Amino acid sequence: MLLIPCPICGARPEAEFTYAGEAHIARPVDPAALDDHAWGEFLYARTNPKGDHAERWRHTHGCGRFFNALRNTHTDRFTASYLAGATRPHGTPTTESLDAPAMRSETEQWGQA
Ligand SMILES: [Zn+2]
């Protein structure tokens, strides 16, 4: 069982939480202006990094707050948690940088094997 660090309550068992998808997904300013492809990309295209992944969680059976957490998808360990609306902790790769593999070597993106 995972222990998830709520920024308000501290580490609690995962049964108290609800996963709410990838964090830091910006909603389109004018959704009606998007074509079907762009709308589909907004709804369904998500990163799937091996390493730190910014996730939105809700402490459903606790304080009820939404928050973001960085979980390493390789080790399944949480490395940070912060309130929704706060800036992602310094020194962690952003979703945008993971979307640009041409800017990063495979070793930089995925780490040493
Ligand atoms: Zn909480």
Summarize pLDDT for 44-88 with one digit per residue, the tens. 999 999 999 999 999 999 999 999 999 999 999 999 999 988 888
What spacing in Å lies between the alpha carbon of 3 and ligand 1's midpoint? 12
CB crowding 5-21: b at 16 or more within 10 Å, else e: bbbeeeebeeebbeeee
Note the pTM of the prediction, 2 decimals: 0.73
CB 65 within 8 A of CB 59: yes
Domain containing residue 46: CATH number: 3.30.2270.10
- pLDDT-derived band at 91 (thresholds 50, 70, 90) equals low
- pLDDT-derived band at 103 (thresholds 50, 70, 90) equals very low
* Residue 53, domain extent: 3-27+34-110
What spacing in Å lies between the alpha carbon of 29 and ligand 1's midpoint? 30
What spacing in Å lies between the alpha carbon of 97 and ligand 1's midpoint? 30
What spacing in Å lies between the alpha carbon of 94 and ligand 1's midpoint? 24
Total number of domains constituting the chain: 1
